Amino acid sequence: MEQNSLININNLVKRFPVGKGEFTALNGIDLTFETGEFAGLVGPSGSGKTTLLNIIGSLDTPSDGSVNVIGQDIANLNIKKAAVLRRQHMGFIFQTYNLLPVYTVYENIEFPLLLLKMSGSDRKKAVMDALDWVGLTDKIKSRPAQLSGGECQRVAIARAMVKKPELVLADEPTANLDAANSHNILKMMAKLNKELKTTFIFATHDDKVIQYLKRKISLEDGKIVNDENVINKGE
């Protein structure tokens, strides 16, 4: 294990109460992620990939073991510190986009910068850059309801990337998209990974995503069954 890695996970166990018993979603996970990785947690439904992604994203806590993300021990983070960690260092991309419905494209992308209390002029520049990355400069005033699924996910990517975080966590980002849109956004993320050195971690079982991964971590029943570096389309 490298202490300077972006993410260090040691013997992670996550249990959920089910009725009077417990369900073990993750069992003895050991993983390390370096800066700039484009990695995927791959596996069928119920394999524990989303749970692992949530713990890395400090949205959930481990039952046992340690998870260190960007120098912070997730198990010992209070709610406020976890929020600061996410606010400053992480971006999230969700399967259902989770855009704020009453905001315009511009306002959705601007939102994380408001939380960082960035100045108005810096915010505007950063949002315009992010819109440029995802090719949505012409949709600046549109609301999510006026966009296609692919466009919504591109807005979500821009929102995750606008603050140039060290880490972007994407949970099934292509699940609601057709093949063409899936390839488009994956190319976009691969490009951003290359240009900005942002670490991307996906939770997916979509072959289209897997084609683009540089590292594929296969999970089954809460355990890692395979962890391999791959040559892919993103190269």
Partner 1 sequence: MLAIKLAYRNLIGAGLRTWLNVFVLSFIYVLIIWHYGILDGWNEQANKDMKVWEAGNGHYWHQSYDPYDFFTLEESHSQIPEILQKATNEGIVTPILLSQATVYPDGRIQSMLLRGITPDQKVVAIPSAELNVELEEIPAIIGRRMAKSCKLKEGDITTIRWRDVNGTFDATEVKIVKVFNCNVPSVDAGQMYIPIEKLREMMQAPNEATIFVIGADAEMSDSVSGWAYKDYDFLMTEMNEMMKMKKVGGSFFYVILMLLAMLAIFDTQVLSIFKRQKEIGTYIAMGMTRPQVVSLFTVEGAMHAILAVIVGAIYGVPFLLWQMKTGMSMPAGSDDMGIPIAESIFPVYGVGLIVSTMLLVLIITTIVSYLPARKISKMKPTDAIKGKIQ
Residues found near partner 1 in the complex (CB under 8 A): 54, 57, 59-60, 79-80, 83-88, 90, 92, 94, 96, 98-103, 107, 111-112, 114-115, 117, 143, 159
**In the complex with partner 1, which residue's Cβ is closer, 66 or 103?**
103
Rounded to a whole number of angstroms, the minimum distance from the CB of residue 159 to partner 1 is 8
Q: How far is the CB of 111 from partner 1 (least distance, A)?
A: 6
CA angle 156, 159, 164 (to 5 degrees): 130
CB of 77 to partner 1, least distance (A): 12
Closer residue to partner 1, CB minimum distance, 65 or 112: 112
Residue 28, φ and ψ in degrees, nearest 5:
70, 50
| Cβ proximity to partner 1, 111 vs 223, nearer residue | 111
- Residue closer to partner 1 by CB (options 40, 112) is 112
Residue 88 or 232: the one with the smaller Cβ distance to partner 1 is: 88
Rounded Cα gap, residues 99 and 147, in angstroms: 11
Instruction: Give CA–CA dist 29/112, Å, rounded.
Output: 31
Task: Compute the least distance from the CB of residue 137 to partner 1, in Å.
Answer: 21
Closer of 59 and 140 to partner 1 (Cβ): 59
Find the shortest distance in angstroms from Cβ 231 to partner 1: 32
Residue 142 Cβ, how far from partner 1 at the closest point, in Å? 13
